[in-house]
Amino acid sequence: MSDEPLFETGLLLAGAVDPADLHRQLSRWTRTGRIHQLRRGLYALAPPWRKQTPHPFLVANRLAPGSYVSGLSALAFAHVIPEHVAEVTSVTTGRPHIRCTPLGRFSFRHVKPGLLFGCRHVDLGQGQHAFVAAPEKALLDLVHLHPGGDDEAYLRELRLDLDALQLDVLGAFAETAALPKLARAAERVRRLARKAPAYESL
């Protein structure tokens, strides 16, 4: 498992393995700090035994299968906002929750199934991949989940790099979502783009 950034119990159960013995060994290794348990059945080797560090986005995807990284995390990854974001935020159709692990803090926000679109499979390097929202969808997810997220003042506070956004894609995603709040946000971002020099000087 040293070549794997993450591994699941099911992978270790292949072949002639006694499940009870395996779970006892995993418990011992977790107690002694040789592996990190991220959730039931999902583990990562601890340094110095691992050969590569799991990317936080890969961890997020594996913590909640069917989710994708979005919001501020995806915007920072795409260099649409200038700030580093420590917590990884994902959207899911499952229950909202937060997981604090030895590999970081991960939050999962609930959206309806009709809003689960606009993500892509991204190469994170070192053979790792994750589902991450396109920057335009990440912005709309953030707006959707943040009270007052469509306010122009809030959009200004984000200090968006408007050149990193495709405004036609933003509008198309807002139309697909069919939510008035997201339509207002898309229009206000277009308005900010039209007066970009004044916006950038603030």
pLDDT in tens, 104-116: 999 999 999 999 9
Average pLDDT over residues 179-186: 98
Judge whether residue 34 has pLDDT over 90. Answer: yes
Average pLDDT over residues 144-148: 97
- The pLDDT assigned to 199 comes to 44
- The pLDDT assigned to 15 comes to 61
Lowest model confidence (mean pLDDT) among 50-54, 60-64, 132-136, 143-147: 50-54
pLDDT-based confidence at residue 19 (cuts at 50, 70, 90): confident
- The pLDDT assigned to 200 comes to 47
Average pLDDT over residues 17-30: 83
- The pLDDT assigned to 202 comes to 40
Cα-Cα end-to-end distance for the chain: 51
In angstroms, rounded to a whole number, what is the distance separating the alpha carbons of residues 165 and 173? 12
Instruction: Give CA separation, 138 vs 49, 69, 80, in Å.
Output: 35, 8, 10
pTM listed for this prediction = 0.90
- The pLDDT assigned to 49 comes to 85
Alpha helices in the chain (DSSP H): 9-12, 19-31, 56-63, 71-77, 135-145, 152-157, 167-177, 180-194, 196-200
pLDDT in tens, 89-136: 999 999 999 999 999 999 999 999 999 999 999 999 999 999 999 999
Instruction: Give CA separation, 189 vs 114, 161, 180, in Å.
Output: 23, 11, 14
Instruction: Please state, for a pLDDT cut of 90, what percent of the chain lies above it.
Output: 79
In angstroms, rounded to a whole number, what is the distance separating the alpha carbons of residues 23 and 46? 17
Dmax over CA atoms of the chain, in Å, equals 68
- Find the helix or strand (DSSP H, E) in which 90 lies: strand 88-92
- The pLDDT assigned to 197 comes to 63
- The pLDDT assigned to 99 comes to 97
- Between 143 and 84, whose confidence is greater? 143
